Amino acid sequence: MNKILVCFLAAFAAANAPFPIMAQDVASITPTRIVIAPAQSVLARTIKASLSAAYSGTGAGSAAYAEAQKLYFLYGERHFEPIWLSETADGQVQFSPAAQQILDLFAKAESEGLNPADYLTPDLQIPATGSDPVAMAALETAFSAATLRYASHIYTGRVAPRSIDPNLDIEPKTLDAAALLVELAGSKDPAKVLAKLEPTHPEFLALKAALANFNGSAVDRPTPIPPGALLKAGMSDERLPQIRERLGLVADASLVYDEGVVQAVKDFQQGLGLEPDGVAGPATVAALNGGAPARREDIIANMERWRWMPRDLGAFNVFVNIPEFRLSINRNGAETYTTRVVVGAVKNQTPIFSDSIRHIVVNPYWNVPASIVKGEIAPKTWQNPGYIDSQNMDLIYNGDVVSPWQVNWSAVGDSFPFKVRQRPGPGNALGQIKFLFPNKHDVYLHDTPSKALFSRSQRALSHGCIRVQNPMEFADALMANETKISRASLEAMFGSSERWVNPDHQIPVHLVYFTLRPGADGSLRSFADVYGHDAKLIQALGLSSAAAPEPIVAEAVAVPGP
Greatest distance between any 2 Cα atoms in the chain: 96
CA atoms of 168 and 512, how far apart (whole Å): 9
Q: With contact defined as beta carbons under 8 Å apart, do 404 and 380 qualify? A: no
Distance from C-alpha of 141 to C-alpha of 124, rounded to nearest angstrom? 9
Distance, in Å, from the CA atom of 107 to the CA atom of 112, rounded to the nearest integer, reads 11
Name residues whose C-beta falls within 8 Å of residue 468's C-beta, 6 or more positions apart in sequence. Answer: 327, 339, 341, 435, 445, 446, 447, 448, 474
Q: How many CB atoms lie within 10 A of CB 499?
A: 16
> Which of 75, 103, 56 is closest to 182 using CA atoms?
75
Judge contact between 225 and 288, C-beta under 8 A. yes
Angle CA(28)–CA(33)–CA(39) in degrees, nearest 5?
A: 120
- Residues 75, 81, 83, 84, Cα dihedral to 10°: 120
Q: Which of 79, 153, 463, 465 is catalytic?
A: 465
Distance CA 97, CA 5 (A): 13
As a whole number of angstroms, the distance between CA 244 and CA 232 comes to 15
463 belongs to the catalytic site = no
Tell me how far apart the alpha carbons of residues 546 and 67 are, in angstroms, rounded to a whole number.
30
The active-site residue, picked from 446, 463, 510, 533, is 446
Q: How far is CA 241 from the centre of its chain?
A: 39
- Is 7 a catalytic site residue? no
Exposure string of 460-494, with b = 16+ CB inside 10 Å and e = fewer, is bbbbbbbbbbbbbebbbbbbeeeeebebeebeebe
Helices (H), 421-510: 471-478, 487-491
Active site residues: 446, 465
